[in-house]
């Protein structure tokens, strides 16, 4: 009587189990590390509200270079996204706390001016500098 032959398990298949277990353990440990970092830095509750949005808007605005706004490629894309992020985050901050309305208004005015003139003219730059001044005082 013939016995069915056993199919040998490839070495690559034998390594998959420990690899998946290591990956899962890394995700759990990484998630715990991020949670611990948030807990230690106090980024929860009120600290994660309008003030955090305003500070994030200012961080994006700090890295925004209006001279790169019309550039093709990654530099222009980064500039466009940073400016958009600053506007959105400042609007979020103002919605949660009226103290941040001047920041949102300055960025809104600059944005509307750029849309109407197709560039950063003197008035758009003035509004942008006003927003940066507000950020310096936060």
pLDDT of the residue at 89: 96
**How many whole angstroms separate alpha carbon 59 and alpha carbon 16?**
43
State the pTM of this model.
0.65
pLDDT of the residue at 107: 96
For residue 16, what are the CA distances in angstroms to 1, 8, 23, 115, 136? 35, 15, 10, 54, 53
pLDDT of the residue at 87: 95
Could you state, in order of their start, the residue ranges of all structural domains in the chain? 49-136
pLDDT of the residue at 1: 56
Proportion of the chain in helix, strand, coil states, percent, rounded to 5: 80, 0, 20
Per-residue pLDDT of the chain (138 residues; tens, 9 = 90+): 555 555 555 555 555 556 545 544 444 455 444 444 444 444 444 557 999 999 999 999 999 999 998 889 999 999 989 999 999 999 999 999 999 999 999 999 999 999 898 888 999 999 999 999 999 998
């Amino acid at each position: 009587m013939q016995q069915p032959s056993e199919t040998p398990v490839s070495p690559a298949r034998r390594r998959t189990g420990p690899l998946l277990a290591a990956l899962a353990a890394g995700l759990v440990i990484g998630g715990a590390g991020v949670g611990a970092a948030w807990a230690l830095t106090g980024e929860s509750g009120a600290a994660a509200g309008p003030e955090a949005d305003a500070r994030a808007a200012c961080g994006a605005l700090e890295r925004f270079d209006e001279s790169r706004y019309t550039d093709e490629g990654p530099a222009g894309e980064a500039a466009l996204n940073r400016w958009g992020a600053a506007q959105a985050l400042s609007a979020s901050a103002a919605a949660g706390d009226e103290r941040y309305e001047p920041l949102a208004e300055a960025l809104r005015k600059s944005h509307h001016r750029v849309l109407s003139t197709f560039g950063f003219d003197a008035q758009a730059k003035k509004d942008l500098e006003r927003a940066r001044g507000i950020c310096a005082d936060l």
